[in-house]
Structure 1
Amino acid sequence: MRWTDEQGPRARRESVDLSAYPGLVVVYLGFRVGRLRGLKTLLGIGRGLAQVQRDMPDGLLAHENLVYGLNHVGMRQYWRDLESLEAFTRSEPHKTWWRAFGRDPAGNGFWHEAYRLSGGMEAIYVGMPNPIGLAAFAAARRPEGPFMTSRQRLAS
């Protein structure tokens, strides 16, 4: 559907008022299948993500699926605040997905980038064969010590 205004088919320009969301966090995530057995992992995560979209955990404002390539899919999520996002990542099913992926990525890659309206950006890349997103131009840094968690990286 194309937006129109009263004057005709000219595209209507709109913006958004984010003042009601001072803690807004936007997260981009990607999953890259690197081996055939990685499809099973992707299908399992896909079922869980469908459940997340149906249940809409507290603080998740919107979820959009994305396709980056034939073997690379992802999503964009808008969270009310970092606390809501962190609560979700520490709960089921996310906690189990992340733990299982850490034990056996099955040749797959995963990444996320988070952007806060109030300032700060952070990223993590696991098993990606080539730099993507912020990693395409920014210097690499190991996620350890005071740089281990998303919250710590956002504060850096």
Structure 2
Amino acid sequence: MQAETTSTTRGGGRVSVDLSGYPDLVVVYLGFRVTTWRGLKALLGIGRKLGDLTREKPDGLLAHESVLYALNHVGMRQYWRDFESLEAFTRSEPHKGWWSSFAKDPAGSGFWHETYRRSGGMEAIYLGMPKPIGLGSFAAARAPVGPFMSARGRIAV
């Protein structure tokens, strides 16, 4: 019997991953959908900040990948060491300031994220999206009030 290789291969080789070193892994999908010309300007401003994020790599961010959902709908997938690292990042600058401003004025755009914990739990938030997407396309909508105001509160339920 031939031993399996632990290195990644190119050219279509079959490879898996060993996640045993990441028991608290968190995966976040995020999307930004431009709905007006003003939204395009907002997207360009965020793009610069995302470039800084990928270069500076905050504590706990393991990987960041860009995703194109449609010409007017871009996003990213992020892998975090644990929920605490992700939460610390979202509560610090520049994310905290950006999110506060965006929540007050989405500037002709929509934004959403979905969070999945390896250890269990999922949560999502959608702001200014013209139609349901992701978990929102089949799960009942719920107002983000009380414990549902924060990702920590939503993921715990």
TM-score bin (small chain) = over 0.9
Partner of 1:104: 105
Residue by residue over 1:53-111, the C-alpha shift from the partner in whole angstroms, topping out at 9 and shown as x without a partner, is 00000000000001000100000000000010011001111111101101211121000
Q: Which runs of 5+ in 1 are unaligned?
A: 5-10
Deviation at 1:3, TM superposition (A): 2.8
- Equivalent residue runs for 1:62-77 within 5 Å: 62-77=63-78
What secondary structure is seen at the aligned counterpart in 1 of 2:119? coil
Q: What is the root-mean-square deviation in Å for CA atoms of aligned residues?
A: 1.1
Give the whole-Å Cα distance in 1 for the aligned partners of 2:147 and 2:77. Answer: 26
Give the whole-Å Cα distance in 1 for the aligned partners of 2:32 and 2:10. Answer: 33
Identity score, percent: 71
What secondary structure is seen at the aligned counterpart in 2 of 1:112? strand
Q: Does 1:89 align with 2:117?
A: no
Give the whole-Å Cα distance in 2 for the aligned partners of 1:115 and 1:60. Answer: 15
Partner of 1:57: 58
How many residues matched?
Answer: 149
TM-score, normalization by structure 2: 0.92
Structure 1 outlier segments of 4+, above 2 Å: none
- The amino acid that maps onto 2:48 is R
Q: Does 1:116 align with 2:85?
A: no
Residue by residue over 1:110-135, the C-alpha shift from the partner in whole angstroms, topping out at 9 and shown as x without a partner, is 00000000000100000000000001
Give the whole-Å Cα distance in 2 for the aligned partners of 1:103 and 1:135. Answer: 22
TM-score, normalization by structure 1: 0.92
What secondary structure is seen at the aligned counterpart in 2 of 1:139? coil
